[in-house]
Amino acid sequence: MTTSIVNVMFSIRFQRKIVVSDHAKIRMIERDISDVILLEVIDSGEVRYKDDTHLWAFKEYPVRHDNLLCAVLVLEDCIVVKTVMHHFTVL
């Protein structure tokens, strides 16, 4: 029998469970972004709101070659991570 452990992430900042879309999971693997880094970006990164429920959370990681990481989020009953980006530029 195989046992699967599912890491449940919870945002202290937003007081909600975090759900990562399949698309975001693929991008995290491609860009070497761990759950720990994603949670740091969400909970301690800067945020810019598009509207009441759509936002970008981003954080600088000088030790990474791609530096500024960003999570595209939707605030619902949980936080939905739509995608993650690197080489992000704040306009």
Query: Average pLDDT per run of 10 along the chain, which is 91 residues long?
Result: 58 97 95 95 97 96 88 97 89 73
Query: pTM (2 decimals)?
Result: 0.88
Q: Which CA distances in Å does 56 have to 9, 75, 88, 91? A: 18, 11, 10, 12
Phi and psi at 73, nearest 5°, equal -120, 150
